[in-house]
Amino acid sequence: MENRKREEDIGGGAYSRQRGFTLLEIIVVVFILSILVALVAPRIIGRTDDARIADTRLQIKNFETALKLYRLDNGFYPDTQQGLDALVEKPTTGRIPSKYPPGGYLEKKKIPPDPWGNPYIYVSPGLHGDFDIISRGGDGKEGGEGKDADINNWDLS
């Protein structure tokens, strides 16, 4: 009995041999995790641009809906000078809407920039319809391809 107590005091008991992980076990786990990160990370990182493009298209559709409500209430769309701001604040120049609702036409009281931080371009009357809404894409410049391509309301289905 005394010997057993001495082993536990010294750290040689049954439980002391099962504590912690060996260096080899830790290295194996780190290796497996690094392989998983190497395989999964490129797929996740590449999706950021796709998400921004989808968000831009959705926002443009929301602007279109709000602009159509504006026209239903007032009989005309805001002009280019009034811009998209006419959806959140009653215009004071140009044609003044007579039936402007107290809260405006968008839930948020501010026109957000596109997902790349650039302002949306609004032209009314537009070259492709009653109005044009344009995001210049990732590079903020006209034209471009892939993530840098312009996103226009007339190209959306």
Return the pLDDT at 17: 59
Cα dist from 142 to 54, 76, 152, whole Å = 19, 28, 11
State the average pLDDT for the chain.
Answer: 86
Return the pLDDT at 147: 84
Residues 17/23/24/27 CA torsion (nearest 10 deg): 140
Q: Residue 6 and residue 3: Cα distance in Å, rounded?
A: 5
pLDDT tens column, 38-95: 777 766 776 788 889 999 999 999 999 999 999 999 999 999 999 999 999 999 999 9
DSSP state of 121: E
Q: pLDDT class for 20, splitting at 50, 70, 90?
A: confident
| pLDDT higher than threshold 90 for residue 123 | yes
Return the pLDDT at 8: 54
Hunting for tokens 């036409």 — which residue is that?
105
Instruction: Choose the CATH number for 48-155 among 3.40.5.90, 1.20.140.10, 3.30.700.10, 3.30.465.10.
Output: 3.30.700.10
Which residue would you say has higher pLDDT here, 67 or 11? 67
Which residue would you say has higher pLDDT here, 5 or 23? 23
- Nearest Cα neighbor of 70 from 52, 54, 53, 90 is 90
How far is C-alpha 127 from the chain's CA centre? 28
| pLDDT higher than threshold 60 for residue 12 | no
The answer to whether the pTM exceeds 0.75 is no
Residue 104 is which amino acid?
G
Return the pLDDT at 1: 53
137, 116 in Cβ contact below 8 A?
A: yes
- Nearest Cα neighbor of 84 from 120, 33, 118 is 120
Domain residue spans of the chain: 48-155
| pLDDT higher than threshold 60 for residue 102 | yes
